[in-house]
A and B are shown apart, each in its own frame.
Chain A
């Protein structure tokens, strides 16, 4: 369960003040897939950063599983991100010269997972995205679709309960993009991972349980998909 209460984010000071988010309220049930939709500059990425504790709002709170993450100490927030959250960034942030395995290993190292468990978890994560045959390849030798799958493997290797994905199909052709979508929704359905996708792609958003439209830093509408029943 993620609750966003009265979150306001302001950049700059005084005359140069720019309100990126104003009084956002959201409530996301565990295990749902949520699309945050908006044009570039609408504040959707900022919302994602705040929901994951990367950025701090001017006011308001984000409560995840009953805990306000902005009341935690930095060390706890770091731990929380390392244990519970997986990130998929639009620009992959892969280490091109490192092997596929080393790229996936990074979150495990950060979370201080014992060496003995790592190999198995890396293999599992790579098998889930069908990259287990590339384990020794360098990341830069992979194709675009393979890289995006590698990024997903890196996001799920820690068995997170929430995955934040920023334009996960933005850099891919439609066919590869579909594969990635299947992969993400599969994780959402099979493992019960809460999926938060930031996108401007309406087709992708249509596949989500909840669609949150953001415009000029405000929530414009929240739609629930038909299969979940009630429309708000």
Chain B
């Protein structure tokens, strides 16, 4: 409590995925080795048996996957619906409703990226028995673009036109322009049934939204508002699994109580927001549990509003970065679980640049930078230059205790170099409204996943055309302007070849790291726990919730 903070708690990033697989990472830096790692994995049951209770600290309330939703809702969507293709924990696309993933190589996408042809699986049925056809895909894409429908995001979908259904298993369309992130966007776009939603008077308020029908491994059973949601196994699921008879999502608003329920075994898996760093050491000692600090795509940073005079001097940004005691924050406050990072991309992304200059905590150097740039200590030891005081506020979601500790530590270390930071936290509904979107803040401490699904395209966050305070359409609330970055972003989105794109994005990271519009602290790790007899849990940075593959979970007998 107050869990009205919607950004996930901090966590730990696995330095090496190989180590995760082999269970070789030691103690606090990796998977806690359990019996499961040492023995051969038991086989899944022949029929779906047993139930899993997932504990969530936010309540899923949106069950139409195309409407505005948050991560916990997606956790449920992954089990009720399917996209055309999904993405596994290594970043590879896995065909689901599509028979194969269209690429330029197999001709599914034309060389210029404008013509798409997709073959669909013929053997898929909706939960109510109706057959899945290409009409459902067409309906889904058109619904998203329907001006009367409150779609979550039209990013990418608005480029789709001329959808042709040539057979119940074949569909094609034209893109208005080549857009490399679109396959990633589609991997997060769930297909909804035309035969139900087309009949509704108003898809925004259709009964479907509270009794969803999908194609996924689980079917909707019931919901007790404010308490839990129950799904049951879909016996006719087209893929492997499900191996569980019942899947229950339980809403437990208080993180401490969530942990306690995990401790006593009342829940089988701690989902979002997982186990806080403070409870990690306690958690790994609970018998019969496996606690993982798996990587997440979120990067924690101090994001600065470059419209403020004090942040316009690059020397200030560099000095603040040099005076950031990342080590203490990560090792002490977060118990060494997250990984320090210089990039806005998670380490696991194929576009990640591992060669960015590493930050070193050097307060003496910070003072030197400021002295040389003309920031002289003034009243109260706070530096000034040309009438501007090195004073600013830092805001984050109120109630996130661990973050507050990091803020307080930063406050002290920055005060030592002559910077005055005031903490101004506010409830989530306030801070992430206009205060953030319209750049009304000085600086925020925020955890963000800036990828577009599994795709490294970050145009909406760094393009100069994406500044809402200046009328832009994206979320570049930092008001960051760099023409080189704009150029790289456009190239990255238009180039279809992945290795070429990787080079472009690596350069992008270098440029942004040089400018320091935000001070990256660490990449999150999601600390989550499962009962050790529960098999199948796999954290992934490419999805927003680790409930993505519950269709593959089962109990060891």
A interacts with B: no
| Residues of B in contact with A (beta carbons under 8 Å apart) | none
| Residues of A in contact with B (beta carbons under 8 Å apart) | none
